[in-house]
Chains A and B, each alone.
Chain A
Amino acid sequence: MDLTIDAVRAGVADGSATATAVAEMHYSRIAANDGVEGKGINSFLALGKERALAQAAKIDSMAAKGEELPVLAGVPIGIKDVLAMQGAPATAGSLILKDYRPPYDATAVTRLEAAGAVLLGKLNCDEFAMGSSNENSAYGPVRNPRALDRVPGGSSGGSAAAVAANFAVATLGTDTGGSIRQPAAFCGVVGVLPTYGRVSRYGLIAFASSLDRVGPFAKNVKDAATVLQVLAGQDALDATSSDRPVDDYVGLMAKPVEGLRIGVPKEYFGEGLDPEIRAAIEGVLDGLKGAGCVIKPVSLPHTKYAIPTYYVIATAEASSNLSRFDGVRFGLRDAEAKTLSEMFRRTRDAGFGAEVKRRILLGTYALSAGYYDAYYRKAQQVRTLLTRDFLTAFLDVDALVAPVTPTPAFKLGEKTDDPVKMYLEDIYSVAASLAGVCGISVPCGETKAGLPIGVQVIGKHFDEGTMFRVAQAVEAGQGQA
């Protein structure tokens, strides 16, 4: 893959490139290969050239005057369409928000622009971030740039594909049950799930608020650490953001891994794991051992309950969050309805796709009278057990290494008929989501058929520094393979 953050910033700083030319180059790649007519990758849903080129011109003028450039100066970045950018569409992949243009910026967007990034446009995703293949977008599926007949993963499929196709140097995605790590693995890029509370969610269209997180996709670990450094930190506009100090990720990443204790959770290597993925992860562990890490088997005994727990909690929260889409204040409205309640129902019926309806129904059922204790409360208790699994394991190890997905990218249409089969795609990612720990997906090889394989490094709460350090060692090890 070509341009990295360092390359763009250095080029703009020394005058060998301009932010405007870098942005135009990425826009021409998008025009040539992303396409809007069903043949391209279909990663971008909207381009915001005016705003992007104004920002690029500002950076170029700073560079011309010899001013010190911010860390993401001129770096072209794409934004998942669940995050608000003032005046730009924010469809969340849904028809119900087709013409919605939020009147404000998400904090993540504000921070990227303040750091000099050039925001190219909005990226396709599963509707309301619900999906593992990007096939639930109302605006058509995204194709995997590494294999066009395959899915890019989801829900942040557009964000992963845009980086893999070199349409952007980095992108933002969101992860509720695996929606950054899984598409990163499928597309062969780096994707980061920050600790719950580390990155502001102000301006994010909410899916499941106890789980939703915003994080970066990038071409390498250092770029991902650089973008997270910009995003991380408390935000007065998000009451769930933590005021803990933000570590120096790029500095910590460069420290040697010698002596670090790496846990290998045995439950993540059971039946159903593709043998080529297993072999690749074993190769990663050998490499870490060679770099001086201590590899220790650990157990996360409640892992098999993570998927059922997740699908109760996430759908219950979604049924509540998505009640705001009612045709009153923004988005679609059914104009024919004679009464308010008819307007609610007809608007929501026309605006929501099948998977969103399925999850709203399941969540409403789990929260309804007579079922609350059996489903929602039970799932919250099991969530405690799943979190304790991680806290216990982290008494003995500094980070965990595991697969991201049980299989490489599957074919478009392969799993759309069976929701449970699709949900099981998230088997290695949802537990970290429920427990609030941080995680990263790093490319670690490919299958014989040429499909990317990702390895997951899971860190302690707010210990992204160690997570990046291990990830950097994994990435460095790939070069020697």
Chain B
Amino acid sequence: MSEQAGVSIEDVRRVAELANLELTPEEEPRMQRDLNAILKHIAQLNELDTKDIPAMAQVGEMLGGAAHEWGETLREDAVRPSIDRAAVMAVAPETDGRFFKVPKVIER
């Protein structure tokens, strides 16, 4: 981990862009300070040697037994009723009834 280097304002802006967040000039230094403080705390993990330790994504993989017991099965790929389109479109910000409408995608 490169916590020694720390997170710069440019890093904060780059990550904000990746996350589609627009930070105000006032928010940027606060976020920089907080991220550095949290990452410093997280750097404690470097004390542990994890060379041969498997990475764990879900608890089921640690417990053995059949996948379905741990909720790791996929349902049958079959057609079944879903929520009515009109009900879904009714809560959308802008639609034509069939599709979601958005501002233009490509800037010219």
Contacts and interface: CB of A to CB of B under 8 A. Distances in A.
B7 A365 contact: yes
B22 to A, nearest CB: 4
A204 to B, nearest CB: 14
A468 interface: no
Given A242-B70, A361-B12, A311 B38 contact: yes
A327 B102 CA distance: 9
Given A330-B92, A374-B2, A391-B62, A244 B69 contact: yes
Contacts of A374: 1-2
A213 B45 CA distance: 25
B63 interface: yes
Given A346-B22, A357-B23, A461 B63 contact: yes
Given A104-B83, A243-B69, A304-B44, A361 B16 contact: yes
Interface string B83-108: 11001101111100000101111010
B68 to A, nearest CB: 5
B53 interface: yes
Interface in A378-428: 378-385, 387-388, 391, 418-420, 423
Nearest to B50: A381
A234 B68 CA distance: 10
Nearest to A100: B91
B23 to A, nearest CB: 7
A226 interface: no
Interface stretch (A34-42, A72-80, A331-339, A440-448): A331-339
B44 A308 contact: yes
A102 interface: yes
B79 interface: no
B59 A375 contact: no
A56 B103 CA distance: 46
Interface in B39-95: 39, 41-48, 50, 53-60, 62-63, 68-75, 83-84, 87-88, 90-94
Contacts of B56: 380-381, 383-384, 387
A227 interface: no
A290 B72 CA distance: 42
B108 to A, nearest CB: 10
Contacts, number: 193
A420 B48 contact: no
B71 A242 contact: yes
A343 interface: yes
Interface string A242-255: 11100000000000
A385 B48 contact: yes
A342 B21 CA distance: 10
A342 B34 contact: no
Given A385-B53, A461-B59, A461-B63, A360 B19 contact: yes
Given A345-B22, A348-B21, A420-B41, A365 B59 contact: no
B20 interface: yes
Given A365-B7, A384-B62, A333 B93 contact: yes
Contacts of B16: 361
Given A323-B20, A345-B20, A382 B102 contact: no
Contacts of A333: 93-94
Contact of B15 (A241, A364, A391): A364
Given A327-B93, A338-B103, A381-B50, A357 B27 contact: yes
A107 to B, nearest CB: 13
Contacts of B55: 377, 380-381, 383-384
A450 interface: no
A436 interface: yes
A365 B71 contact: no
A365 B42 contact: no
Contacts of A377: 55
B63 to A, nearest CB: 6
B90 A436 contact: no
B15 A326 contact: no
A102 B41 CA distance: 38
A210 interface: yes
A345 B93 contact: no
6 contacts: A196-B58, A345-B20, A349-B21, A357-B23, A378-B45, A378-B50
Q: Which 8 A-B pairs have the closest CB atoms?
A: A436-B59, A380-B55, A333-B93, A103-B87, A381-B50, A197-B71, A345-B22, A349-B22
Interface of A: 100-104, 196-197, 210, 234, 236, 238-244, 302, 304-305, 307-309, 311-312, 319, 323, 326-333, 337-346, 348-349, 352, 354, 357-358, 360-362, 364-365, 368, 371, 374-375, 377-385, 387-388, 391, 418-420, 423, 435-436, 461
Given A358-B35, A418-B37, 8 more contacts: A239-B75, A243-B71, A308-B42, A308-B43, A311-B38, A339-B105, A361-B15, A382-B45
